[in-house]
Amino acid sequence: MEFSATQIAQLLDGIIEGDASVTVSGLSKIEEGKTGALSFLSNPKYESYIYQTASSICIVDHTFQPSKPLPSTLTLIKVKDSYACFAKLLQLYQASMRKAPGIEQPCFIDPSAKIGKDVFIGAFVYIGASAVIGDGTCIYPNTSIGQNSKVGAQTTIYSGVQIYDNMQIGANCIIHAGVIIGSDGFGFAPNEQGVFDKVPQIGNVIIEDNVEIGANTTIDRATMGSTRIKTGVKIDNLCQIAHNVEIGEHSALAAQVGIAGSAKLGKHVMVGGQTGISGHLHIADGTKIVAQSGIPSSVKQAETLMGTPAIPMNDFKRSHIGFRKLPEMMRELSALRKEINELKAKKS
């Protein structure tokens, strides 16, 4: 499909500088632009590319003023926030690529399952008894949805996702390939012989609306009650969310984060990659945790934490400066000790 600069500007409430009739049929990074492509410039360090790009249209901030001549073939669309506007276009493009409604064969859908309108179900999908699939949802091949599980409207579930029995997934969610929702929490109790007996995990997982879960992430069912991922949460690839964890609204977790059982994260919490969070603690709304940190205890007020065990980031930086000076300090200490010993020897 082709779109003109006029159509794009109307969609983004932007101002055109250049040929309003020029059309584009694809998207491209500004440094790889080509004729018929739409690009954007948000980061100033990429500005040099706009003076040589072959893209036909570029979205820029309304404050952008070129420091040298632009290509004669380039039309600008000035908007309030170029990055946000380009993201909006990407969302619209992705929506246009959604699978057409239909049910591929072979697949198994239990007769008691309820399937909404305009749903796509790929080949080799399993949908169990009394499951409910909302309107407009896309379920890609080789996915399993257990009995009594519910999936909200306009949700996308990619290939190979495993959703156990009795799970609840909201509307407008995106669940990437290989995600497992509802596997048993890591619950074991040692008996008198020191052998670990399994503690049955009988709860479920509740994922609210507008959540995105990255590939190969696992979210464990609660021992009792629910593991809960609240509205707007974004979880990266390869994360581990343990039983009875709660993640507050609009929080974000980068790749390889691990959260132990019954930890409670507040709203708008940001967690860097490879961070470990201990169980049975609370993290305050708005907390930011730098990558590879370890959180062993509750965080009572919002701050930026770093290190293991994590401390306020500025304290960590000062401590790290001291740590880097340790070899020098040890050499000085050794030299002082030698001088003291020599002085003692002269007195004796």
DSSP 32: G
Is residue 223 classed exposed, middle or buried when 0-12, 13-18 and 19+ CB atoms within 10 A define those classes? buried
**Helix boundaries (H) for the chain:** 5-12, 47-50, 82-96, 313-324, 326-347
Q: Tokens 């340790």 map to which residue?
A: 326
DSSP 73: T
CA distance 303 to 286: 7
For the question of residue 243 being annotated catalytic, the response is yes
**Contact at 8 Å (CB) between 266 and 284?**
yes
**Contact at 8 Å (CB) between 307 and 316?**
yes
Instruction: Report the greatest alpha carbon distance in the chain.
Output: 99
**Contact at 8 Å (CB) between 195 and 213?**
no
CA dihedral 310, 239, 285, 233 (to 10 degrees): 160
Q: Which of 62, 176, 243, 280 is catalytic?
A: 243
220: Cβ–Cβ under 8 A, 6 or more apart, which residues?
A: 182, 183, 184, 185, 186, 201, 205, 227, 241, 242, 243, 245, 261
CA distance 27 to 116: 33
Report the catalytic residues: 243
